[in-house]
Structure 1
Amino acid sequence: MEASFWHRKWERGEINFHESEANPLLTTHFEKLDLAKGSRVFLPLCGKTRDIAWLLARGYRIAGAELSGQAIDALFQELGVKPEIARIGELTHYSADDIDIWVGDIFDVSAEYLGPVSAIYDRAALVALPADTRQKYALHLMQISGVAPQLLITYEYDQSVIDGPPFSVNEDEVEWHYGAAFQLQSLETKQIAGGLKGKVASTETAWLLQKAKR
């Protein structure tokens, strides 16, 4: 999926994927990551999600990656924070107290740029990518994060009815991407009221990914 697809979405305000409040699966299950306050949490393809404000309010530090600079300008405006902005390689780095966001292609975000993170919260990244990119993304994410534990949210629905994003990612695919490195636990699966985009029955699942014990 081309970067221009997402830039057009933001330019046209076609951001139905943006939630007005923190995601209920985050607020219910984030504590299962068992992180100390002050821990640094990475949100890939974060957009201007309200989840960031929720995490900051609870004493966590945020790292994020996002393709759209417009989304990140809006994020900081909504947070009421003026970031410092610098160019780093192919990326633009927005920084303020307890928050670092890299704008650009997530595959240009290196472990060196990202720095240490205690966990990953992936609500909108894996499911935003087409099938031929998801394995590359999963491997990259593990590489740059040092196989940090994850709270992952996926959708499952009949993609012959409508196509993504968000794309349908079932249990077998989660296992395929992450099963070798993590112990996987399905925390909650719920029906999406009214269906995905109001068009197709869909479930939403929260997964806890913790480093497999050897």
Structure 2
Amino acid sequence: MALNWLERWREGRIGFHRPQVHPALIEHWPLLGAKPGTKVLVPLCGKSLDMRWLAQHDHPVLGIELAEEAVEQFVAEGTGEISRYRQEPFAICRQGSVELWCGDFFHFHIEQAAEIDAFYDRAALIALPPATRQRYAFHLAQLIPPSARGLVISLMRAPGDEGGGPPFSVCADEVRELFEPNFLVTHLEDGEPEEGSGFRESVWAMVRRGPAV
């Protein structure tokens, strides 16, 4: 899975990258109640412009991405001074209030997530095969403190379209099964089927369960 992802970035096969900010982020993020200054975790972030939108709306961003090409393209396409440093096993690149940690999301631990109090997932859950999604949801829950809020965008294929991936189809029942043990899950909307792909997006608001909720 990891090798396939890296090959797609190296070969420029990144049709999954959106050249504009996701409209669901613009519509729903302000309703989550994440306060200005709240640091947002973006797993498997690629070079998403959604991170710049979050930063422009007073949120420091910590994106985690396996492909070095994605990190380098993100900062090359942006403006402002770039600083680089390491926190093993990650190489970190900062531009403005966006930090990109290049490495494996599953090697990012709670000690490194001390300031994170929100999250945004548009491309992580749907990039992972079924066997890894359970591990992802559990690991994310370990990084997010009680009462922290997040937005998740999943994809579901049309009935009868088995397809492959990534991106993978993740039905509503699976989203609830994965996240409800640790999050309060609210279904916000289903989008229209995407022309040519058969995918329909679903948008979910989440609040980490815990004593502070």
Q: TM-score, normalised to structure 2's length?
A: 0.91
Select which of 200, 205, 208 maps to 1:208.
205
Q: Distance in 2 between matches of 1:32 and 1:117?
A: 19
C-alpha distance in 1, partners of 2:64/2:76? 17
Residue by residue over 1:118-151, the C-alpha shift from the partner in whole angstroms, topping out at 9 and shown as x without a partner, is 2110000011000000000111111122253210
Aligned equivalents of 1:104, 1:141: Cα separation in 2 = 15
Q: Is the 8 A contact 1:44 1:66 kept in 2?
A: yes
Secondary structure at 1:169 match in 2 = coil
Distance (whole Å) between structure 1 residues aligned to residue 53 and residue 88 of structure 2: 30
Is 2:165 the counterpart of 1:164? yes
Q: CA-to-partner distance for each residue in 1:66-110, whole Å, 9 max, x for gaps?
A: 001110111111221332222322211112432222111111111
Map residues 146-161 of structure 1 onto 2, 5 A cutoff.
146=145, 148-158=148-158, 160-161=161-162
How much does 1:193 deviate?
3.1
Distance change (3 Å), C-alpha of 1:213 and 1:146: closer
1:184 equivalent in structure 2: 185
The one-letter code of the counterpart of 1:149 is: R
Distance in 1 between the 2:17 and 2:209 partners?
32
- Give, in angstroms, the shift of residue 164 of structure 1: 1.3
The answer to whether the 8 Å contact 1:63/1:114 transfers is no
**2:82 is the alignment partner of 1:83:** yes
Q: Return 82-91 or 165-174, whichever deviates more.
A: 82-91
Provide the residue aligned with 1:73 in structure 2. Answer: 72
**TM-score with structure 1 setting the length:** 0.91
Amino acid at match of 2:153: I
Does the CA contact (< 8 Å) of 1:67 and 1:103 recur in 2?
Answer: yes
Measured after TM superposition, the shift of residue 162 of structure 1 is 1.7
Q: Distance in 2 between matches of 1:70 and 1:114?
A: 24
* Structure 1 position 192, deviation (Å): 2.9
CA distance in 2, matches of 1:54, 1:121: 12
* Post-superposition CA distance 1:171-206 (Å, at most 9, x none): 111111111222211111012331xxx24x221011
Within a 5 Å distance, the mapping from 1:133-144 to structure 2 comes to 133-144=132-143
What are the Cα deviations for residues 52-73 of structure 1, in whole angstroms up to 9, with x where unaligned?
1111112211011000111011
Pairwise mapping of residues 119-138 of structure 1 onto structure 2 (< 5 A)? 119-138=118-137
Identity of aligned residues (%): 33
- TM-superposition CA deviations, 1:36-59 (whole Å, max 9, x none): 211111110001001011111122
AA aligned opposite 1:182:
F
* Structure-2 separation of matches of 1:142 and 1:211: 7
Q: Which runs of 5+ in 2 are unaligned?
A: none
Cα deviation for residue 161 of structure 1 reads: 3.8
Shift in Å at residue 212 of structure 1? 4.0
* Structure 1: segments with no counterpart, 5+ residues: none
Q: SS state of the match for residue 118, structure 1?
A: strand
- RMSD of Structure 2 on Structure 1 (CA): 1.7
Count of residue pairs brought into register by the alignment: 209
Is the contact made by 1:128 and 1:164 (CA closer than 8 Å) also made in structure 2? yes
| Residue 44 (structure 1) aligns with | 43
